[in-house]
Amino acid sequence: MAARESIADLKKRARIVSRALAKLYPEARITLGFETPWQCLAATILSAQSTDAGVNRVTPGLFREYPDPRAMAAADRRHVEELIFKTGFFRQKTRSLMAAAQKIVEDYGGEVPAEMEELVKIPGVGRKTANVILGHIYGKPGFVVDTHVRRLTYRLGFTKQTDPAKIEIDMQKILPADDWTPFSMRLILHGRQVCIARKPDCEVCAVAGDCPKIGVRTAPRG
């Protein structure tokens, strides 16, 4: 792979990688369970430093008792902590959930906003969570950057940035908007299953031929 690629070359290679990953992971969605915009936001907040499976074990009970922002804004803090205890960092997450709910009730009439500029004003909501909501709830383009996406976009040579917001900008330059959400979701799945942090399984990777493997120093598993 050339040390420096033009934007046109990056776009071409990103398109090839996107198509390959689409074949591997046709269902490109988060695995969190939710039914409403508020539940999506709450589940995503809970997913920090936790697995989606772990979050999905506690959200049915949480959403049964506090199904919407108005209910959460008036919730008993200790009871919320008990309900989400197993997701870790339960005190901070409870504060974020209740503060987010209060903001949504007070400033947005109880409805989760559909614009990035408004979403990031909500306590506990950064660009990652906002892009999840935009892409999965409102059908708007949103490139989600988590630890897996940060690692894979760097290894693939699509960005040299480490800041999530800057990675998002770089990827938006080389991908069509319709690909932002599904491609980022597929990178997350690929990062969990194949391109793991310490020992990426390059020998079985479907995009190995189009990946410069930047920063990969360990031998593939075999």
Q: Which residues are catalytic?
A: 128, 146
**Residue 37 CA neighbour count, 13 Å, CB half:** 20
162 with 187: CB under 8 angstroms?
A: no
| Alpha carbons 35 and 33: distance in angstroms, whole number | 7
Token pair of 87, please? Answer: 């997701």
Half-sphere exposure of 69 (CA within 13 A, CB side): 23
The kind and range of the H/E element at 144 are none
